[in-house]
Amino acid sequence: MKALRDLGREIADTLGDGPSRERRLRQRQAVAALVRRPARVWWWAGAGFATAAAAAALTLVVVRTQAEPVPFWVGNAAIAGSEGVLLRAPAAEPLPLHFAEGTEVIFTPRSRGQVRAASRGRVQVQVDEGALHASVKPGLRWEFGAGPYRVQVTGTSLTVEWNPTVRQAGVSVSSGAVIVRGPNLPGGSAKIVAGQRLDADLDEGIARLRAVADPTDDADRPADDPTHVAKGKHKVSRRAAHPAGPSWQSIADQGRYADALAAAKLAGLDELTDELDLPDLVRLADVARYARSPDEARQVLGAIGRRFPKSQAGRGVPFLLARVALELDGDPKSAARQLQLYLARNADGELDEEARGRLVEALLKTGDREAACGAAQEYLRRYPRGGYMTLARSACAQ
* Rg, the chain, Cα only: 33
Quote the strand ranges of the chain, DSSP E: 72-74, 79-80, 86-88, 95-99, 104-107, 112-118, 123-135, 142-146, 149-153, 157-163, 168-175, 177-181, 189-193, 196-201, 206-211
Question: pTM score, two decimals?
Answer: 0.53
Residues 206 and 279: beta-carbon distance below 8 Å: yes
Question: Of the ranges 6-10, 94-98, 228-232, 355-359, which is most confident?
Answer: 355-359
Q: Give yes or no for residue 147 having a pLDDT over 60.
A: yes
Q: Give yes or no for residue 230 having a pLDDT over 70.
A: no
Average pLDDT over every residue of 342-362: 89
Least confident of 25-29, 128-132, 295-299: 25-29
Question: Of the ranges 55-59, 63-67, 245-249, 384-388, which is most confident?
Answer: 384-388
Average pLDDT over every residue of 363-387: 92
pLDDT score recorded for residue 362: 94
**Which CATH number is 68-233 given?**
2.60.120.1440
* Domain boundaries of the chain, sorted by first residue: 19-67, 68-233
256-305 pLDDT per residue, tens:
888 899 999 998 999 999 999 998 999 999 899 888 899 999 999 999 99
Average pLDDT over every residue of 92-116: 88
Q: Report the first-to-last Cα separation within the chain, whole angstroms.
A: 88
- Work out the pLDDT band at 59, boundaries 50, 70, 90: very low
Give the C-alpha separation, 88 to 186, whole Å: 33
Q: Give yes or no for residue 13 having a pLDDT over 50.
A: yes
